[in-house]
Amino acid sequence: MSSEKTIEKFNKHVMQSYGRYPLVMEKGSGRRCKDEDGKEYIDFGSGIGTNSLGYCDEKWADAVCAQVRTLQHNSNYYYTAIQAEFADKLCDISGYSRVFFGNSGAEANECAIKIARKYSFDKYGKGRHTIITLVNSFHGRTMATLSATGQDVFHNYFFPFLEGFVNVKAIDIADLKEKLDDTVCAVMLEYVQGEGGVNALDKEFVDAVYELCAAKDVLVIADEVQTGVGRTGKFLAGDWFGKKADVTTLAKGIAGGVPMGACLVNEKLGNVLTPGTHGSTFGGNPIACAGGLAVIERIESEGFLESVCEKAQYFRNRLEKCSEVGGVSGLGLMIGITLKTKKAADVAKASLDKGLLVLTAKDKVRLLPPLTIEHEEIDAGLDKLLEVLEE
Ligand SMILES: *Cc1c(COP(=O)(O)O)cnc(C)c1O
């Protein structure tokens, strides 16, 4: 089999930083992909929520390819029309004032952290640099975003981690009040903790964060790297909570599978970053912007987000009928499945054997299907998943 050769070659030179399944993805179309041995899979993972329009969506591919043939990159010393157009669209649909473009979720969060600290430094001077993050959060793999991540398993090997991050339990308002002292410049949260187990925050807790932060000119940073860009059935998950953070970070699905991260800020923070204080060689790359524009144009189309909500409900209804399912968490097409007896990793492996890609998050099975998934595909995939669960 050709996949064995590929895997051998791969493992010879690529660092072993992931636990991979022994299969080689070759191509995809719509919500299905094929491996090198010709086996087909229905995709309920979208490359961890990045292929928001599925595989190789025609309009998206046309937009990306046209940009590749026009201007693939230039330095941020010059302007490009495509970056202007994407920034304009993104700010318009999200309700933010300005954006900084990077290439990943971690970079978007790095930017948010720098903005929070500089805003506070500019206005209040040194010593007001602490950022409160939540227990069970996940903010990325760089040194700063690892330090921000509120899970001890990530705080190993790479000592020393960055100073100035403290954690609060996502339900403990009293603890939040106590830790919101005069050293704090921001609170950072995911409305639905993704890697932490697909858990939506409590509305009461979110309300308390906003209220307490507003009273002390402490910024709220919403890490919407996983929840943003239509994933939950609104453009931003914050819309479900009736909240607009000072800073919102996006990545994963933002450009339909081309690397991009974005850090959006409100009016008050629009001028915190000044020339020379932040940068990225690839940030706002024209190809990524073209992909991003195609994604937003689709999300804006009539009835698109309503259909995400409708499909999400459909998923939930079918899953909740299964006797092995202890509960379904998350929001929109960000779905966490609690299992009664089985192990999530075993379910993911058994699903793969049946031709279905799913993800896990802690002890849950996690689904992040492409936003464009159709009912026939949902049914075909759920038939496989429920077969595994009921075995
Ligand atoms: C995936 C993720 C990140 C990290 O994004 P990368 O693109 O892998 O750097 C950060 N925050 C959240 C909430 C995520 O889900």
DSSP string, 225-258: TTTTTTTTSSSSGGGGGT---SEEEE-GGGGBTB
Pair (293, 321) in one structural domain: no
Pair (108, 233) in one structural domain: yes
Assign residue 257 the CATH number of its domain: 3.40.640.10
**Looking at residue 362, what DSSP letter applies?**
T
CB under 6 Å to ligand 1: residues? 104-106, 109, 138-140, 190, 194-195, 223, 225-226, 251-252
Q: How much is the pLDDT for 205?
A: 98
Pair (262, 293) in one structural domain: yes
- From 149, 226, 359, the mutation candidate for ligand 1 (largest count of ligand atoms within 8 A of CB) is 226
Tokens 């050769």, located at residue: 5
Quick one: which of 41, 1, 5 has its CA closest to 25?
41
Q: How many Å separate Cα 173 from the centre of its chain? A: 25
Give the helix ranges, DSSP H, for the chain.
2-13, 46-49, 58-68, 81-94, 105-124, 143-148, 173-179, 203-215, 286-300, 304-320, 344-354, 375-390
- From 18, 48, 139, the mutation candidate for ligand 1 (largest count of ligand atoms within 8 A of CB) is 139
- Coil, strand, or helix at residue 184? strand
- With respect to residue 63, please indicate whether it lies within any of the assigned structural domains: no
pLDDT in tens, 297-336: 999 999 999 999 999 999 999 999 999 999 999 999 999 9
Q: What domain count does the chain have?
A: 2
Phi/psi for 375 (5° steps) reads -60, -40
Pair (16, 106) in one structural domain: no
- With respect to residue 169, please indicate whether it lies within any of the assigned structural domains: yes
Q: Is this model's pTM higher than 0.95 or not?
A: yes
- With respect to residue 262, please indicate whether it lies within any of the assigned structural domains: yes
Pair (238, 320) in one structural domain: no
Mean pLDDT by 10 residues, the chain (391 residues): 91 96 96 97 98 98 98 97 98 98 98 98 98 98 98 96 97 97 98 97 98 98 98 98 98 98 98 98 98 98 98 98 98 98 98 98 98 98 98 91
Q: Sort strands 364-367 and 359-361 into parallel, antiparallel or unpaired.
A: antiparallel
CB proximity list for 335: less than 8 A, separation 6 or greater: 198, 312, 315, 316, 319, 328, 329, 366, 367, 368
CA pair distance 130, 127, nearest whole angstrom: 8
Q: How much is the pLDDT for 326?
A: 98
Pair (261, 373) in one structural domain: no
CA pair distance 193, 184, nearest whole angstrom: 22
Q: How much is the pLDDT for 67?
A: 98
Q: Other CB atoms closer than 10 Å to residue 17's CB: what's the count? A: 7
pLDDT in tens, 182-213: 999 999 999 999 999 999 999 999 999 999 99
Pair (317, 256) in one structural domain: no
Pair (192, 142) in one structural domain: yes
Which range marks the domain in which residue 236 is found? Answer: 71-300
Q: Which of 300, 321, 339 is the last residue of a domain?
A: 300
Pair (18, 131) in one structural domain: no
Assign residue 314 the CATH number of its domain: 3.90.1150.10
Pair (223, 335) in one structural domain: no
CA pair distance 14, 152, nearest whole angstrom: 27
Q: How much is the pLDDT for 1?
A: 65
